Structure 1
Amino acid sequence: MAINLLFRLKSETAQEVTYRFGQPDKMDRELTINKADYSVTVADGITDRLAVITAGKAMTRHRTDGVWVKSGSLQA
Structure 2
Amino acid sequence: MYLVFRLESETDQEVTYRFGGADHNLDRTLTINKADYTVTVADGKEDAMAVRTAGTAMTRHRQDGVWIKAGNFQA
Structure 1 length-normalised TM = 0.94
Moved beyond 6 Å, runs of 4+: none
Aligned length: 74
For residues 17-60 of structure 1, the C-alpha deviation after alignment (integer angstroms, 9 at most, x for no partner) is 00000114221100000000000000001111100000000000
Number of the residue aligned with 1:50? 49
In 2, Cα distance between the equivalents of 1:61 and 1:18? 15
Measured on the aligned residues, the alpha-carbon RMSD in Å equals 0.7
Number of the residue aligned with 1:32? 31
Segments of structure 2 that go 5 or more residues without pairing to the other structure are none
Number of the residue aligned with 1:4? 2
SS in 2 for 1:62: helix
Segments of structure 1 that go 5 or more residues without pairing to the other structure are none
Q: Percent identity, aligned pairs only?
A: 70
Number of the residue aligned with 1:17? 15
SS in 1 for 2:43: coil
